[in-house]
């Protein structure tokens, strides 16, 4: 599937470069290439939190969620939603300074 998306993107880029696709339409093709945000399992969340030496309360404050949400993620009672998954991904790949 990723080869198909990459092919579509390259075709759209060429058409954009020669003026057949507007900037607005081309941005829709660029969104197709955005990296997928992983599903964070309870052990992954706890490991990530511990890697940055954060308490559950500190991670909650950093992500603007309740401490009980972080606790429930870590025991598997709940799972982070889209925005929280994105913030966890940013923390994982870019570090804590990216969220400050």
Average pLDDT of the residues in 28-54: 90
Query: Domain residues of the chain, as ranges?
Result: 2-32, 42-99
Q: Look over the chain and give the mean of its residue pLDDT values, rounded to a whole number.
A: 92
CB 45 within 8 A of CB 91: no
User: Reduced to 3 states, what is the DSSP secondary structure of residue 7?
Assistant: helix
Residue 99 has pLDDT above 60, yes or no: yes
Q: What pLDDT does residue 9 have?
A: 86
Q: Is the pLDDT of residue 45 over 90?
A: yes
Distance (Å, whole) CA 47 – CA 78: 17
Band of pLDDT at residue 23, cut at 50, 70 and 90: very high
Quick one: pLDDT at residue 7?
Answer: 86
Output the pTM of the full model: 0.69
Decide: helix, strand or coil at residue 78. Answer: coil
pLDDT recorded at residue 4: 84
CATH superfamily of 42-99: lambda repressor-like DNA-binding domains (1.10.260.40)
**Residue of higher predicted confidence among 32 and 15:** 15
């Amino acid at each position: 599937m990723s080869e198909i998306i990459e092919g579509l993107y390259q075709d759209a880029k060429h058409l954009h470069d020669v003026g057949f696709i507007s900037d607005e339409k081309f941005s829709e093709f660029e969104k197709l290439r955005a990296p997928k945000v992983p599903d964070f399992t309870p052990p992954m969340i706890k490991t990530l939190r511990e890697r940055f030496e954060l308490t559950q309360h500190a991670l909650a404050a950093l992500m603007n969620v309740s401490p009980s949400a972080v606790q429930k993620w870590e025991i598997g009672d709940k799972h982070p939603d889209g925005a929280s998954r994105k913030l966890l991904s940013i923390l994982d790949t870019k570090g804590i300074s990216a969220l400050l």
